[in-house]
Amino acid sequence: MGLSQEDVQQIYRRRAALYDLTSNLYVLAGFRLPTYRRRAVEALGLRRGDTVVDIGCGTGLNLPLLRRAVGPAGRVVGVDLTDRMLGRARRRVRRHGWRNVELVRCDAEGYRFPSPLQGVISTLAITLIPGYERVIRNAARALEPGRRLVVLDLKRAPGWPEWTFRLGVWLTRGFGVTVEAAERRPWEAMAACLENVRMEELYGGWAYLCWGEAPRSRP
Ligand SMILES: C[S@@+](CC[C@H](N)C(=O)[O-])C[C@H]1O[C@@H](n2cnc3c(N)ncnc32)[C@H](O)[C@@H]1O
């Protein structure tokens, strides 16, 4: 069964203090998260002065990369459900004195994207959101034509036996991953409302980077 929003918040409240450290431990298993993050931000194709939204921004590990991409005249908005994860992100923003980073506590499903908007990213978060299709649709509508939504997340690798999938879910359960969540297919929702959608498998198919462009002509 999928977790409720309250369950997800409880998990990330507990994880917040050590999140950065524990997510780095996955690097020991060959999951090259810092490299994947960098590639996800590059896939956004951001320019100086752009506005970009990070959905499920957590403790703000993408913020330095996003800030660098949009420059001091750009704007970065981090959105997250969990107060303590955002608390860590706030500390990061304060420590660096970043003036063009805003943090919003809200469920991504009800988030109203800013306008104009030139990029939306979500790393390791979209499959945790039961209404992820709505979030993707809203992002696609809010983006300027031709600008990108990029998702980096875990998925079921094709061709592997069922037990390996169950083991993967078990190993990541402490991050709120359930069988139901791991079987969500955000790239299909992206293909339904974006153009030029591309997907690259990472980590032997157990993760992916998917990006697409907001339609140039709207109905
Ligand atoms: C695994 S962490 C990823 C954090 C960050 N994006 C990263 O790459 O390190 C998942 C984050 O998604 C957030 N999240 C889960 N469900 C959400 C929702 N419905 N709306 C907004 N954020 C959500 C959690 O609070 C948590 O901070």
Q: pLDDT tens digits, residue range 42-96?
A: 999 999 999 999 999 999 999 999 999 999 999 999 999 999 999 999 999 999 9
First vs last C-alpha separation in the chain: 36
Confidence of residue 1 (pLDDT cuts 50, 70, 90): low
- Please give the model's pTM, rounded to 2 decimal places: 0.96
Q: Which amino acid is at 177?
A: V
Q: Which residues contact 139 (CB under 8 A, 6 or more apart)?
A: 53, 55, 113, 120, 149
Q: Is residue 216 in some structural domain?
A: no
In-domain check, residue 219: no
Residues forming beta bridges with residue 148, ordered by sequence position: 119, 213
Could you tell me which of 97, 55, 58, 94 has the C-alpha nearest to residue 77? 55
Decide if 207 contacts 31 (C-beta within 8 A). Answer: yes
Nearest CA to ligand 1 atom 13: 56
Taking CA atoms only, the protein residue closest to ligand 1 atom 8 is: 123
State the distance from the centre of ligand 1 to the C-alpha of 149, rounded, in angstroms: 16
Q: What type of residue sits at position 80?
A: D
Q: How many domains does the chain have?
A: 1
pLDDT of amino acid 174: 86
Task: Answer yes or no: is the C-beta of 82 below 6 A from any ligand 1 atom.
Answer: yes
Residue 95 is assigned to a structural domain of this protein? yes
36 lines ligand 1 (CB under 6 A): no
Domain containing 94 equals 5-211
Structural domain includes residue 180: yes
Cα Dmax for the chain? 49
Tell me the CATH number at 99. 3.40.50.150
